[in-house]
Structure 1
Amino acid sequence: MNPFELINLSLTSSKARRAVIFFSRIKSRFWVGIGIHGSPFINIKESRRIGMSWEYSWTSNPSKVGLTTHTARLDLYSYECIHLFSESRMHDCMKWYEIIKPVLGCQIGHASVDNPKPSITDWLRSHQDSIGGISILEGDEENVKYLLKTIRVLGDLSLKISPRSYQLEFPEGLTRLEIDTAELINYDQLLRLKVRNINLRGSILTNQEINGFLKSWMSCESHLDLKSIEIDIPLSKAVNEIMDLPHEVTKIGYKIKRCDRKEANVTFGLWTRPYLYLSID
């Protein structure tokens, strides 16, 4: 049975609900993502990877209520969404999760939040003390700090906060850190990061600071577990200044070596912005 069918069955009677919950305790097989913002949703998958996806969303527009379905080419991806009418969308989304959590035997794998007020953070924390990934769309400095202090992020952290002079400390051991407004990261913070994959858009780092970061990696002074990093760069004379260090020119860019003989490839690109991309072999 798919999640919609299990949830609908659990609502038919208390006996049916107990049976479904018992079954889910034996074999929990669903990954859940939740969005707590202006367009709240609960997304349910058999795994986080592409495949079947079932979703609930809440809307204040009666004309959007109903079922939406979509199947991608070759049946590689299938999506069903039930749009529910609500005048208290975020509240109803959180309440619905509390109802379906025991039915599916699931935990939240990823949360997307907009201005995570303490009440939202405390609600998330009441269900679990750690989470695989969090996306923060906006938020006051103290609210963001409280969320990062209260809930342990195990995998991916994405910040899409408008440029502000925040002073944030980031969790150690992240799989990925992605910041759309990387004015939040100065040079000293960059050197302290302990993250395997980093993407800094809108970075304010200078060419000299990026050069210093590469030299720090080459001398094993920082980022020993780094796998990749992408940083926006200033356009003017960027390559010559950044690569003012021992390197080998390759067909795709440059190769640099760490003091323990580990190698990394450095490439420069221009998509919507000039950037540097470093990948560790």
Structure 2
Amino acid sequence: MEQASENLDNLEEEVFPLLKLPSIGMENALSIMTPLELIELSSLSVRSKTTVKNFFRIKPKFETHLNIIDGAHIRISKNYQDWFLKKINKPGIEEERRFMNNEMNELTKAFEYIKEVLGCDFKSVRIDLDKSPTENRRLIDWLRSQQPSFDTIAVEGNYLNYDDDVKYLMENLKVTGEFIPVKLRHADDFRLEIPNNLRVLQVEHSGFIKFEQFMKLDCEQIVFFQSPLTSQEIHRFLKSWMACESHLNLKALQVSIVHPDVIDAVNGVPHEEVEIDDNIQEVFRRYAFFHLQTRGFNITRSDGKIATACVLQSRDKSRLYLVLH
């Protein structure tokens, strides 16, 4: 780990009195330090490392995120504030510590050290398969050895076909909350098993998810861009949902298809045209569904649950939004 930033240059001289403070005073002092300062403090001695680890012993105080992308970094978050560990080339940036010489080697060391000192698993990992195409399997194996499951996994790769690597990733790492494939090319016959009980499934190039697989998904929020679904299949989905035959845990859906007549799919099921008031707009915004529609359709499930749907149409494309409330 490189020399600490200027505001911690004299930290070694201050470690002794800090460690002699009463437990309440020491906890108060540690509580006002940033995670980067705490990491730097932990590196000064065995005793300081033990002190910081004990501070985090009861429960994690930060969220940690690993990003293996162009400009790989570790992000540490708390209360909408972020701190970064990354390789930087510009001197004088106080918010970020110059942390990595050999980027990937140092990143893996930092990952292991932060897990130990901050006492928490990493919440998310984002992997750009273009970064080191020949090293993807080795990277996945290393991640599995450190932490076999993540709340959120995002994977991207725009230059080559990574079908086998994506399958290998999903076979060896477990995602429990959000799965986000981004800008992935895939073969026409590509198929991928998608875990059930996800909080969010967001797929940019979702052409490989055909209707049969879509109907088996069990996710709270589904977002498909460039979906191969047809308006007839959307109609079948709506009828199935209304009959409590599929997607029982679904809370929000956004799907874009290349058929301009999705509005007919909604009109083809029992519905009530409604004004989309501020309360419903807030529900749409909660799922990051932003649009200017003021009219929509309420559809009712057989168990009494109500969803509001709206359709944005262009000449050759439709986008369906649906939220439960």
**TM-score when scaled to structure 1?**
0.86
- Residue number in structure 1 paired with 2:107: 93
Q: Does 1:82 pair with 2:74?
A: no
Structure 1: stretches of 5+ with no match in the other structure: 69-79
CA contact (8 A) 2:64 2:123 kept: yes
1:234-245 correspondence to structure 2 within 5 Å: 234-245=258-269
Aligned pair 1:279/2:279, yes or no? no
Distance of 2:97 and 2:312 partners within structure 1? 41
CA spacing shift, 1:66–1:240, aligned 2, 3 Å: same
1:259 matched residue in structure 2: 302
**Conserved 8 A contact 1:66-1:83:** no
The answer on 1:141 being equivalent to 2:141 is no
**Which of the pair has more CA radius of gyration?**
2
Residue identity in the other structure for 2:85: Y
Give how far 1:65 is off: 4.8
Alpha-carbon distance in 2 for matches of 1:14, 1:174: 41
* Structure 1: distance between partners of 2:80 and 2:39: 20
Choose the corresponding residue for 2:252, options 228, 238, 246. Answer: 228
CA drift at 1:270: 5.6
User: What's the CA shift for 1:128?
Assistant: 2.1
Structure 2 CA distance for aligned equivalents of residues 90 and 242 of structure 1: 50
Match of 2:85 among 56, 74, 80: 56
SS in 2 for 1:209: helix
AA partner of residue 182 (structure 2): K
**Aligned residue in 2 for 1:18:** 50
The alignment's C-alpha RMSD in Å is 2.1
DSSP-derived class of the 2:57 partner: helix
Specify the alignment match of 1:202 in structure 2: 226
**Alpha-carbon distance in structure 2 between the residues aligned to 1:143 and 1:39:** 21
Q: Which amino acid aligns with 2:305?
A: K
* AA of the residue aligned to 2:324: I
The answer as to whether partners of 1:65 and 1:85 remain within 8 angstroms in 2 is: no
Q: Determine which structure has the larger strand proportion and give its number.
A: 1
- Equivalent-residue separation in structure 1 for 2:143 and 2:313 (angstroms): 39
Amino acid aligned to 1:142: D
Greater relative contact order structure (CA < 8 Å, 6+ sep): 1
Letter paired with 2:156? L
Give the share of equivalent positions with the same residue, in percent.
33
Q: Following the alignment from structure 2 to structure 1, what is the Cα–Cα distance between the partners of residues 199 and 91?
A: 37
Matched, 1:182 2:206: yes
Residue from 257, 267, 271 that aligns with 1:247: 271
Aligned-partner SS, 1:246: coil
Match of 2:19 in 1: none
Quote the residue 1:123 is aligned against.
142
What amino acid does structure 2 have at the position aligned with 1:189?
A: Q
For residues 156 and 65 of structure 1, what CA distance do their matches in structure 2 show?
A: 36
Match for residue 93 of structure 2 among 53, 67, 71: 67
- Looking at structure 2, the residues matched to 235 and 248 of structure 1 have their Cα atoms a distance apart, in angstroms, of 23
| Partner AA of 1:169 in structure 2 | E
- Quick check: 1:43 aligned with 2:62? no
Change (3 A) 1:101 1:208: same
1:171 alignment partner, SS class:
coil
Q: 1:32 to 1:236 in 2, by over 3 A?
A: same
- TM-score using structure 2 length: 0.75
Instruction: Tell me which moved more, 166-175 or 129-138.
Output: 129-138
- Alpha-carbon distance in structure 1 between the residues aligned to 2:40 and 2:125: 24
Q: Secondary structure at the match of 1:253?
A: strand
User: C-alpha offsets along residues 247-272 of structure 1, whole Å, 9 cap, x if unaligned?
Assistant: 2222221111222222211111269x
SS of residue paired to 2:168: helix
Q: Which residue of 1 aligns with 2:176?
A: 154
**1:67, CA displacement in angstroms?**
2.1
The corresponding residue for 2:289 is none
The number of aligned residues is 262
